[in-house]
Structure 1
């Protein structure tokens, strides 16, 4: 919770479970009406209504509006770097299409890859790039966009390609030491980032292998490869050659961004360097003017190649194309901040913890809490930070390493974010990949179940918890560190021989 002047908080009450659930349930009802009754995929207003309802709950509890406002803007402020990444990715998409970087990726992809192995190759490529860059959003908006073009050339349904892209991109984000969420999870739970990454391997490796196998099977059996005719692919490559200079040298902007990421340069200047490099390449190789490049960076690239599939894919990008996503992210962040500030999220979590008495239960609840926070608040950062702060003392009191917790919130937070359409991650995926959900193409939401690696990982983690596998106990070094840091261990917990816990079910944070 955010710190507030104690004199302003004397008359503030803590919400009961029923009151804490009120803004959540009402928001979900309004959201459901908007999405399923009216068939309008614009979750902005339902989330704004939820924010207003939460504000009223806060006033009822004794908060002043200034207190609630501080909570809203605190969460928004913390997440502004991600909004900056969205703006830069929009610029990169427009400029890299103009430079020929994205068209070159599509061109060589259509020549080198075959439809049968495309989905598996797409997941692997996105995994490598995301691991190098440390950003799933940057990977989706650049390499992922090119892969959507290749998939269209092979006549593969958009949702299959998007599922493979999301699986790979968010896998890399999950285990990259350069990723913000990969650093946030251990930070809020009191572990180090490399131990955290190592402890995620037991769930990451199986989920990726299973996803890879499914994409291979789908490529050979489920997807109609006969649709990927030579004529169709030839038409696309011919159109690309006619409208762009195609050369391997045009991949230099992407190589530069990856190089800067490997050198551990901050993501925002690294991405901006990619924009500038793309602009220089566009002027040298494609003959683009300065004013044109400014337009592409702001409003997106426009072209008519004569091939409808390519036109719909290449006519995109720019800062303005991200405004729908950014506005949704800001409203969702404000809603999440209000829920946290008023104590509603904390009350719900504590109510859940009164029913949980064992490690397997706590681990399952930690994953589900991160998922639920993602679902309700629409913010992957809050879904990691809040459960991490709330549950860390519980794990310590039970004698289990908080590495279990950091893995749980990473999987429920990072990996579930792109699977929720109104979440920051899901909204970006839909916008960047051109899935057209806002235009009524709801069938493209099938990418959600097809992003196998994202939802398999937390499922495997929950199974491990039930079986007692890969669930490390706290080491002597960890216990000593907690003592040195003066971290309070949850009082009243006693771990019994069967792994159950007796005593007080809720620890003060």
Structure 2
């Protein structure tokens, strides 16, 4: 199917997005209901616009199927995370992580500590999702035990996890951004330091002061923490040996085992701990994998902390992902998104305009297509030639794609990253958004650097011609970019 035959006026192409956002604002802010139906409304609107452009319903269905297919790897990981959380709670793994964390971590420095730990683990594994599903889950429990707002703790976990993911040579988004822009992987990582390291420093300073404000060590209620410790001991077998389970999962990923089998092995180990270490019935351990773990200790705070997980606990997240990707599929494959992006490209003037347009285009794709990978792929197709022709090294584009695509995905509630975080950490995007400090500070820093010229890598005219030949061959047609990427 040749999608180039369908051209949309930009004002027509943007209608589905406007309708969806308007419906989302009414549903979430006014009616305070879930965002699924606004996404359905957006999908219906996009379908109508596509039909009026001449597409047949069979073709529109195919667009939706393609969109869902893009999200299938994410859906598999989401389901596996449900298994991991349920089995680790039932197996006492999460209880042990929280128990020893409460004994070791100073409440005042907890937020800085959890940010650094998540950053190190994510940097080593290349996966923000795996880090949040392991270290992040435990960190949320420790934060709740200390009386820290879940939104603040989630912000620290997300900031650390996405720092490591963004800067790791093992990260899929890092490899994707460098590969699509024909940039050396390690040149790409080095160039990202200009924006990401200042963002990390800002985050550490901010969480250092937040930690002092949210917890006063002089008035900190140690009795409530001690009560939680006792309650956990009464209901779980607490052992440092159980900490080997998350350690082994991290080791598996370090040795380049894909995330899905690594998480599955983690779920298996948690299941065995539930049965052999905690002494749970075999049927109970199996049921926990499906329906999650339920604790009735009489301590409301502890019960809330340990009653979750399982496949069914992730169905909200999975359903939102599927609905969001039907909308994304129509916007992407019908050509509506392309029409919008081309208009953005026309107004990009100079280095600042080009980099800023790339950042906002990636954010826009995150909102319309609900998937961070597309937010890297689509702008890379649209902007690569423009960067090179303006004598800008491709590493400026690869960095901008990650600054605007990878990091901003967490702010969109219906993006696969936003729904994953909600399912894993239990906090919605509009709650943790103000505290995901690294994720919003880095794009701002990127625009400042673009305006000042600091950290912008230029190329000579000779290098430009060589690079254009390397990427596009002898074809001088700007549309060749889409055929080669």
TM-score relative to the length of structure 2? 0.94
Bigger mean CA deviation after superposition, 219-228 or 276-285: 219-228
Larger deviation, residues 261-270 vs 478-487: 478-487
> Aligned runs of 1:245-256 on 2, under 5 Å?
245-256=237-248
Structure 1's unaligned 5+ residue stretches are: 438-443, 493-505
1:37 to 21, 30, 33: 30
Match of 2:230 in 1: 238
Q: Post-superposition shift, 1:406?
A: 1.5
Greater mean deviation of Cα atoms: 418-427 or 23-32: 418-427
- Residues 13-57 of structure 1, C-alpha deviation per residue, up to 9 Å, x if partnerless? 3001111111111111111111122121x1111111111211121
Does 1:81 pair with 2:81? no
Residue 65 of structure 1 pairs with residue 57 of structure 2: yes
Q: CA contact under 8 A between 2:71 and 2:416: conserved in structure 1?
A: no
**1:464, 1:470 within 8 Å by CA — same for their partners in 2?**
yes
Partner residue of 1:109 out of 90, 101, 125: 101
* Partner residue in 1 for 2:439: 454
Q: CA contact under 8 A between 1:119 and 1:216: conserved in structure 2?
A: yes
Using the alignment, how far apart are the partners of 2:131 and 2:213 within structure 1? 28
Alignment equivalent of 1:144, drawn from 136, 139, 155: 136
Contact map agreement 1:119 1:164 (CA 8 A) in 2: yes
In the TM superposition, residue 284 of structure 1 has moved relative to its aligned partner by: 2.5
Give the equivalent residue in structure 2 for 1:355.
Answer: 347
Alignment-derived partner of residue 495 in structure 1 = none
Partners of 1:284 and 1:481 in 2: CA distance: 60
What does residue range 127-138 of structure 1 map to in structure 2 within 5 Å? 127-138=119-130
1:226-266, Cα deviation, whole Å (9 max, x unpaired): 55312111101111111111111101111111111111111
In 2: Cα distance, 1:296 partner to 1:487 partner: 57
Q: C-alpha distance in 2, partners of 1:254/1:477?
A: 47
In terms of mean alpha carbon deviation, does 82-91 or 369-378 score higher?
369-378
Q: How well do the aligned residues superpose, as a CA RMSD in angstroms?
A: 2.2
Residue in structure 1 matching 2:156, options 154, 164, 178: 164
Match of 2:337 in 1: 345
1:389-426 residue CA offsets vs partner (Å, 9 max, x unmatched): 11112112222122111111212121111122222212
Task: State how far apart, in whole Å, the 1-side matches of 2:236 and 2:143 are.
Answer: 20
TM-score normalised by structure 1 residue count = 0.89
After superposition, the C-alpha distances for 1:77-126 in whole angstroms (9 at most, x for unaligned) are 23311111111111000001111111111001111111110110011111
Are residues 1:19 and 2:5 paired? Answer: no
C-alpha distance in structure 2 between counterparts of 1:402 and 1:333, whole Å: 30
CA distance, structure 1, for counterparts of residue 125 and residue 219 of structure 2: 34
CA contact (8 A) 1:153 1:228 kept: no
2: distance between equivalents of 1:161 and 1:238? 23
Superposition deviation, residue 469 in structure 1? 1.4
Matched, 1:445 2:438: no
Partners in 1 of 2:158 and 2:402 — Cα distance?
Answer: 16
Correspondence for 2:177: 185
Shift of 1:63: 1.9
Q: Distance in 1 between matches of 2:431 and 2:475?
A: 44
In the alignment, the residues of structure 2 paired with residue 336 and residue 225 of structure 1 have an alpha-carbon distance, to the nearest angstrom, of 48
* Post-superposition CA distance 1:444-503 (Å, at most 9, x none): 8342111111111111111111111111124777864652443578769xxxxxxxxxxx
- Report whether the alignment pairs 1:433 with 2:419: no
Moved more, 475-484 or 455-464: 475-484
Does the alignment pair 1:201 with 2:193?
yes
Change (3 A) 1:382 1:49: same
Work out the CA distance in 1 between the residues paired with 2:289 and 2:184: 38
Gaps of 5+ in 2: none
Aligned position for 1:398: 390
Three-state SS of the structure 1 residue aligned to 2:472 is coil
CA contact (8 A) 2:143 2:150 kept: yes
Question: How many angstroms apart in 2 are the aligned matches of 1:308 and 1:78?
Answer: 40
Structure 1 residue aligned with 2:272: 280
Give, in whole Å, the separation in 1 of the partners of 2:244 and 2:473.
Answer: 48
Measure, in 1, the Cα distance between the counterparts of 2:384 and 2:473: 10
Cα pair distance change 1:227/1:291, threshold 3 Å: farther
